[in-house]
Structure 1
Amino acid sequence: MDLMPWRLPLAMLVALCVDRAWGEPPARWHPVVAFGRFLGLFSRRLLTLAPSAALTAGAVIWWVGALNIGVLAALLETSLIYAFKPWEGWVGLLGCALLLGLLLKPMLAWRMLSDEVGAVERALAESLPAGRARLARLVSRDTGNLNASQVREAAIETLAENLNDSVVAPLFWFMLAGLPGAAIYRFANTADAMWGYRGEWEWAGKWAARADDVLSWLPARITGLALLGLRPPLMGALWRQARKTPSPNSGWPMAAMALRLQLRLAKPGVYVLNEAGAEAASGDIARAQALALKAMLASALMLMLGAAALRGGL
């Protein structure tokens, strides 16, 4: 019996366990930090270009980075497979899965995400300014005029949105394309986080923003459904609420979180999700963390089984 189709599911399990136990690797060794440094080499120059040149240059830089990252990840994964090929049975499977899981881990960031969101509530317990300052580490919006409820809302929205970006989507692409899939997704997501804005980045960051939209489209909906759980009556509401955000993807996990927790989640002047819901109060961030953990585990299990099925393990 060939056990190697199970290397990807077991690698996912290893990555999640390592994440839970130790969190993020040091920044100097973190590949996502390296992705950001690569993109940062070109950021200032891109903003000086005319719109058409900025659009072309941004797309070319994105493709150069994505292709190089994909090739490197493919070489690493292939080398592991060949290195453990002489080892038959469980020894080869576990050895390959362990090392592949360690390579996958930096593409995931569940523990850091949950810890950072939880820190917002702890900061609010000290003072509203402390809560605002802690939230400012997580979001790009101005936090200076937010009240305590709005601070909690923004933290919960960040948890829901990044559950997809930092966990479900990398695992989804790992399921489909192995380590290259997860690495290219995280590069695309990093590029969107750095360049995918309107205003001065309207043209230079357009390719990065659209690429992230495409790569996140299905994972975001998986994340939303996992957060919603087995609640068929809420499906219609999820569809309607998810369409209220400017992003084609972020509304799905955020709306699902709002509906399940019966909370109102909003970005002032941009959108309001589940307007009839209650304002976020003390204890709601902890509720959101618990729900997100359940959704993450359910999604991970489904994607592990999917990875095995795609490779003939089921």
Structure 2
Amino acid sequence: MRASHAYACGAALGYAVDLLLGDPRRGHPVAAFGRAAGALERRVWRDRRDAGAGYAALAAGTVVAGAALAERAVRNRPRARAALTAAAVWSVLGGTSLAREALAVGSALEAGDVALARERLPRLCGRDPQGLDAEALARAVVESVAENTSDAVVGALVWGAVAGLPGTAGFRALNTLDAMVGHRSPRHLRFGWAAARLDDAVGWPGARLTALLAAVAGGDARGAVQAWREDAHRHPSPNAGPVEAAFAGALGVRLGGTLSYGGRTEHRPVLNTSGRSVGTRDIARAVRLSRRVSALALVTTVAASAVRETVREGVRRGREGKR
């Protein structure tokens, strides 16, 4: 195996393992990081932005440094690097688990069991399920599938293509920190500010690629682009906006509106106002679109990483030839 192909082969293998098996059932590295980050938060929490910035830098920086050291240790062993990359990519991707949880809620709704759908929704997103009817539950699932296609799959692949193993691991670390402390609760309004802003920054390229690929892979490219252009900027999240708008346009549905997180009600703008209301069958359609987007993202990022590694290898050989 050529050194320039090690990351690409490892990423493809890790993606395939996630597709077949889903998340590791025991010893999940992301869960272990979450426990460690939670313990660190309890020790360093202060109701200040600077304290939160230090917390985010220490937690994510440790992960990035560890990944960089691990990658460096196998840099001259392409097969070992590919294996390490495959394990890391498998551990950070969540596409298969996302699809399973979304389809489980969809199955409950198809069976008319709204109570079961409400019970399962928290496994997919942090939205308050109580009081949601079948249509609102279906909309919550479609929105979560759209946003998490970027967060749980495409973003990690993008940063892997850009920065190798440290990029993949660092992206997942920041995404996890945002989920833990980035929300606007009284405890985390200031402390979680840095984690939320860092997550917005690293999520920017993956969200745009996700929206673009949703337009390419969806059933209505024109509708996806139009909804993205006209409605995405009105969403409170700079990254969820383009993704959800593009999915809404591609699927021909309306997303957004009133929702509740942690007892706090939000009135979000409607995305793709010309679309119809979300129905139960749209959950499976959103999952299929998510899978197509993820597959295209893998092809795109693997090709980009192979080019990056080939260029680096050529530069290194050129320098060695001048010695």
The Cα of 1:136 is off from its aligned counterpart by: 2.5
The Cα of 1:9 is off from its aligned counterpart by: 1.2
Helix, strand or coil at the partner of 1:58:
helix
Q: Would the aligned equivalents of 1:170 and 1:182 in 2 still touch at CA under 8 Å?
A: yes
Of 45, 55, 62 in structure 1, the residue corresponding to residue 49 of structure 2 is 55
Number of residue pairs aligned between Structure 1 and Structure 2:
299
Change (3 A) 1:99 1:41: closer
Q: Distance in 2 between matches of 1:228 and 1:203?
A: 36
2:164: which partner in 1? 178
Helix, strand or coil at the partner of 2:310:
coil
Q: Does structure 1 residue 299 correspond to structure 2 residue 297?
A: yes
| Amino acid across the alignment from 2:88 | L
1:67: which partner in 2? 61
Q: Distance in 1 between matches of 2:43 and 2:272?
A: 42
The Cα of 1:296 is off from its aligned counterpart by: 0.9
Q: Would the aligned equivalents of 2:23 and 2:91 in 1 still touch at CA under 8 Å?
A: yes
Helix, strand or coil at the partner of 1:81:
coil
Matches within 5 A, 1:255-270: 255-268=245-258, 269-270=267-268
Q: Does structure 1 residue 161 correspond to structure 2 residue 155?
A: no
Root-mean-square deviation (CA), in Å? 1.9
Residues 57-105 of structure 1: CA deviation (Å, up to 9, x unaligned):
11111111122111111121122223x2xxxxxxxx4453233212321
Identity across the alignment (%): 33
2:176: which partner in 1? 190
Q: Distance in 2 between matches of 1:234 and 1:283?
A: 19
Q: Would the aligned equivalents of 1:170 and 1:181 in 2 still touch at CA under 8 Å?
A: yes
Change (3 A) 1:278 1:204: same
| Amino acid across the alignment from 1:197 | H
Change (3 A) 1:152 1:41: same
Residues 104-142 of structure 1: CA deviation (Å, up to 9, x unaligned):
210111110111111111122241111112112222222
2:130: which partner in 1? 144
The Cα of 1:233 is off from its aligned counterpart by: 6.4
Change (3 A) 1:128 1:233: closer
Of 194, 197, 210 in structure 2, the residue corresponding to residue 207 of structure 1 is 194
Of 99, 112, 122 in structure 2, the residue corresponding to residue 114 of structure 1 is 99
1:88: which partner in 2? none
Q: TM-score, normalised by structure 1?
A: 0.90
The Cα of 1:31 is off from its aligned counterpart by: 1.6
Q: Distance in 1 between matches of 2:131 and 2:273?
A: 20
2:36: which partner in 1? 38
Q: Would the aligned equivalents of 2:227 and 2:271 in 1 still touch at CA under 8 Å?
A: no
2:308: which partner in 1? 310
Q: TM-score, normalised by structure 2?
A: 0.87
Q: Would the aligned equivalents of 1:154 and 1:267 in 2 still touch at CA under 8 Å?
A: no
2:213: which partner in 1? 226
Q: Distance in 2 between matches of 1:6 and 1:70?
A: 22
Change (3 A) 1:148 1:284: same
The Cα of 1:256 is off from its aligned counterpart by: 0.8
* Most deviating of 137-146 and 259-268: 137-146
Matches within 5 A, 1:16-35: 16-27=15-26, 29-35=27-33
1:89: which partner in 2? none
Q: Would the aligned equivalents of 2:253 and 2:276 in 1 still touch at CA under 8 Å?
A: yes
Of 252, 268, 271 in structure 1, the residue corresponding to residue 242 of structure 2 is 252
| Amino acid across the alignment from 2:181 | W
Q: Does structure 1 residue 241 correspond to structure 2 residue 231?
A: yes
Matches within 5 A, 1:95-110: 95-110=80-95
Change (3 A) 1:94 1:299: same
Q: Would the aligned equivalents of 1:80 and 1:100 in 2 still touch at CA under 8 Å?
A: no
1:271: which partner in 2? 269
Q: Would the aligned equivalents of 1:195 and 1:205 in 2 still touch at CA under 8 Å?
A: yes
Q: Distance in 2 between matches of 1:95 and 1:136?
A: 38
Q: Distance in 1 between matches of 2:117 and 2:25?
A: 26
Q: Distance in 2 between matches of 1:24 and 1:72?
A: 21
Residues 6-57 of structure 1: CA deviation (Å, up to 9, x unaligned):
1111111101111112211134x2221122112211444666x34xxx2111
| Amino acid across the alignment from 1:223 | T
Helix, strand or coil at the partner of 1:272:
strand
* Most deviating of 183-192 and 57-66: 57-66
The Cα of 1:212 is off from its aligned counterpart by: 0.2
The Cα of 1:199 is off from its aligned counterpart by: 3.3
Helix, strand or coil at the partner of 2:132:
coil
Residues 254-279 of structure 1: CA deviation (Å, up to 9, x unaligned):
11111011011124122311122111
* Most deviating of 237-246 and 14-23: 237-246
